[in-house]
Amino acid sequence: MTGLWLISYIALWILFLLTGIALLSVFYHLGIVYNRIENVHTPPTNLKAGETLPEIALKTLAGSHTKSSQFRGAQTAFLVVSPRCSGCLNVLKTIAGNERFLEESALEQLVIVSVSDVPSTLEMIEQTQFPEIYPVLTDTNNSAEKAWGINTTPVIIEVTSDLKISRQTLFVSN
């Protein structure tokens, strides 16, 4: 009887350890899910509706310098993307496949701001077959991250004709 008792005692401890490991795994994965949910509710920038969009220095794909204030006078959406972001590539492909994007969104213009260098941005535009009707600018000195507080991509920042922020959203395509 002592041998049977010893075997059942060891089996019980093994079952206890396996249950503990399973619970630790469940708690670990719950923490990951919680962090992802928390990040979804975090605003994609530090900008607030009604504020004037801070001016940043940008470059055209041809290499000339410009500023975000150049787009004053029209309801504009600044789509901030990164060539290394798969969601950004999907969004650009979605817009490229929808010729009526501006009409459907009630915007007057869309400006693409790439947070990368010109060669990477050109490669992204070519890969997504993005139409040339939209201006594509690059932010090589991280001014969008600093002045606008960009913490994720793709993000779309909609502004009024006097560059007041009307809305910002994490832009997701299907």
Average pLDDT over every residue of 146-161: 88
pLDDT of residue 19: 92
Residues 140 and 98 in one domain: yes
Q: Sorting pLDDT into bands at 50, 70 and 90, what band is 152?
A: confident
Each residue's pLDDT tens digit, 91-146: 888 888 876 776 677 788 899 999 999 999 999 999 998 888 889 999 988 888 88
Average pLDDT over every residue of 145-154: 86
pLDDT of residue 7: 87
pLDDT of residue 35: 66
Residues 1 and 28 in one domain: yes
Q: Where are the alpha helices (DSSP H) in the chain?
A: 2-40, 86-96, 101-105, 118-128, 143
Residues 103 and 133 in one domain: yes
pLDDT of residue 173: 54
Average pLDDT over every residue of 46-67: 89
Residues 22 and 96 in one domain: no
Residues contacting residue 171 through CB under 8 Å, at least 6 positions apart: 79, 91, 154, 155, 156
Average pLDDT of the chain to the nearest whole number:
85
Q: Could you tell me the CATH number of the domain that includes residue 89?
A: 3.40.30.10
User: If 0-12 CB within 10 Å is exposed, 13-18 middle and 19+ buried, where does residue 170 land?
Assistant: middle
Residues 8 and 77 in one domain: no
In which domain, by residue range, is 32 found? Answer: 1-41
Percent of the chain with pLDDT over 70: 89
